[in-house]
Chain A
Amino acid sequence: MGEIARSFAGAASLIFSGDATLASIVLLSLKVSLSAVVLATLLGLPLGAAIAVGRFPGRRAVIVLLNSLMGLPPVVVGLVVYLLLSRAGPLGEFGLLFTPPAMVMAQTVLILPIIAALCRQAVEDAWIEYQEQLRSLGAQGMRAAATLLWDIRFSLLTAILAGLGRASAEVGAVMIVGGNIDGVTRVMTTAIALETSKGDLPLALSLGIVLITLVLILNAAAYWVKEAAQKRYG
């Protein structure tokens, strides 16, 4: 009990003293995960909308595949991206392995199916409501998909948040492609795993508290934005 209390006290002191190591780890985590979310959003929303509105052979198989990919194990994603970026791999010449861009790439691969699949579902539900009206006005295909994406933009925040949650919480992929190098590729989750195994519980705990707080703040903000928008726009 004393150990836990001491750990919490140490964590609080690290957080409130503005510890430089803690700050740099938090900052890198945010940079990596937010970059991955931006990339996965840019790719995932059009992809999800196109599958929702498009009618093409094999569409059902694509939907099943996309839904299945939501459960991709992070370590497998890490391994695949590792193979792509390793010296012998097809992207080896860029020398990205064990750098933050490699971590962004791995997290993007991990959360792209989540954002695309949730977006596909949301757009398809909206399409049922909008289809006749949009077709009547002459909007079809990608134009209709773009209109739907814009119209349900506040609902899509949930899909993006799900992606952010997954990116910021995963440890396997960034550990493999980033290498958990101190000051270079060490992020909150990999640091928590390492510090816990080393027995530095205050640092691990402080990172855990910051991680949970950040996720809470982001979710609360998104919820508030969605509520306010629905009140305003109906």
Chain B
Amino acid sequence: MSAILPLSLRDVSFTAGGRTIIDRVSFELAAGPRTVILGANGAGKSVLMRLMHGLLTPSQGSISWQGENPGRRQAMVFQRPVMLRRSALANVVYALKLAGTRDAGKIAIAALADVGLSQIAHRPARVLSGGEQQRLALARAWALKPEVLFLDEPTANLDPSATREIEAAIQKVHAGGTKVVMTTHNLGQARRLGDEVLFIHQGRLAERSPVERFFKQPGSAEAEAFIKGELPWV
């Protein structure tokens, strides 16, 4: 099976209700480095991720994957993942069966073990804590063995301990060879989990640089203001 990366965005714009949310964004994502999409609240990070994942269609421009049938080979974890009213294990099995995977049960058990949820595999997913649900969402997406995993603010609603667990799980996903693309407005998390930063400001790609350089020498005034905490909301 050929790889679906790189992913190319060419002059992608997205408008809704007469408002331009994403404005002529172009870039290419290659396999390997962890990409963090950074920006203030309302900058357009989540919309950009939904466009890449295929949940939204660009108003203008194009988004193209390299290989065939990319829909099956990229997955997404939402900021507030929706759990089905069934057990944690059944949630993962459901996703695997939809993807036509054989041995869904075995793979699901292994995926839950990978994120440390074996003990609660048979508990109803909706009564799990926020952190557990987010790890379950990660297991459900990761079990599909995606080539690219999109994570939309995966720790935005979690306490520090749950955040650490999620970050450890994301590191595992990366170590397993999956391309991680993540949105966050958390600078510390961007440093910890990112190899490169795409900085989005008012729907535009303001800057793209390796994470070290982004924090040491931001290339745009907006990025500098954001790092200094002067740009909390756009």
Chain A interfacial positions (CB closer than 8 Å to B) = 129-130, 132-139, 143, 147, 150-153, 232-234
CB of B55 within 8 A of CB of A137, answer no
Could you give, for residues 60-91 of chain B, a 1 whenever the CB lies within 8 Å of some chain A CB and a 0 otherwise?
Answer: 00000000000110011010011111100000
Contact of A136 with B85 at beta-carbon distance under 8 Å, contacts A233-B126, A234-B126 already known: no
A233: contacting residue among B53, B81, B124, CB under 8 A: B124
**Is B215 interfacial (CB 8 A cutoff)?**
no
Chain B residues contacting A137 (CB-CB under 8 Å) are: 94-95, 98-99, 140
CB of A136 within 8 A of CB of B124, answer no
CB of A138 within 8 A of CB of B72, answer yes
B82: contacting residue among A130, A138, A143, A150, CB under 8 A: A130
How far apart sit A193 and B71, CA to CA, in the bound complex (Å)?
A: 62
Chain B residues contacting A152 (CB-CB under 8 Å) are: 85
CB-CB contacts below 8 Å: B177-207 with A? none
Of chain A, the residue at the smallest CB distance from B71 is A138
Give 22 pairs: A residue, B residue, CB < 8 Å, sorted on A.
A130-B82, A132-B78, A132-B82, A133-B82, A134-B82, A135-B55, A136-B55, A136-B75, A137-B98, A138-B98, A139-B98, A150-B85, A151-B85, A151-B86, A152-B85, A233-B86, A233-B124, A233-B126, A233-B127, A234-B83, A234-B85, A234-B125
Chain B residues contacting A138 (CB-CB under 8 Å) are: 71-72, 98-99
How far apart sit A202 and B71, CA to CA, in the bound complex (Å)?
A: 69
CB of B99 within 8 A of CB of A147, answer no
Chain B residues contacting A233 (CB-CB under 8 Å) are: 85-86, 124, 126-127
Chain A residues contacting B53 (CB-CB under 8 Å) are: 136
Chain B interfacial positions (CB closer than 8 Å to A) = 50, 53, 55, 71-72, 75-76, 78, 81-86, 94-95, 98-99, 124-127, 140
How far apart sit A33 and B98, CA to CA, in the bound complex (Å)?
A: 38
CB of A234 within 8 A of CB of B127, answer yes
- Find the residue from A147, A150, A234 having the highest chain B CB count within 10 A: A234
Main DSSP-derived SS at the A contact region: helix
- Find the residue from B50, B81, B82, B140 having the highest chain A CB count within 10 A: B82
Chain A residues contacting B78 (CB-CB under 8 Å) are: 132-133, 136
Chain A residues contacting B94 (CB-CB under 8 Å) are: 137, 147
Chain A residues contacting B98 (CB-CB under 8 Å) are: 137-139, 143
CB of A136 within 8 A of CB of B126, answer no
Of chain B, the residue at the smallest CB distance from A143 is B98
CB of A151 within 8 A of CB of B124, answer no
Chain B residues contacting A153 (CB-CB under 8 Å) are: 85
How far apart sit A133 and B126, CA to CA, in the bound complex (Å)?
A: 14
How far apart sit A143 and B95, CA to CA, in the bound complex (Å)?
A: 12
Of chain B, the residue at the smallest CB distance from A129 is B82
Chain A residues contacting B50 (CB-CB under 8 Å) are: 132
Of chain A, the residue at the smallest CB distance from B87 is A233
A136: contacting residue among B76, B84, B86, CB under 8 A: B76
A234: contacting residue among B55, B76, B124, CB under 8 A: B124
How far apart sit A151 and B55, CA to CA, in the bound complex (Å)?
A: 22
- Find the residue from B71, B82, B85, B126 having the highest chain A CB count within 10 A: B85
Chain B residues contacting A136 (CB-CB under 8 Å) are: 53, 55, 75-76, 78
How far apart sit A82 and B159, CA to CA, in the bound complex (Å)?
A: 65
Q: How many whole Å from A53's CB to the nearest CB in chain B?
A: 15
Chain B residues contacting A135 (CB-CB under 8 Å) are: 55
Q: How many whole Å from A29's CB to the nearest CB in chain B?
A: 34
How far apart sit A69 and B63, CA to CA, in the bound complex (Å)?
A: 46
Q: How many whole Å from A147's CB to the nearest CB in chain B?
A: 7
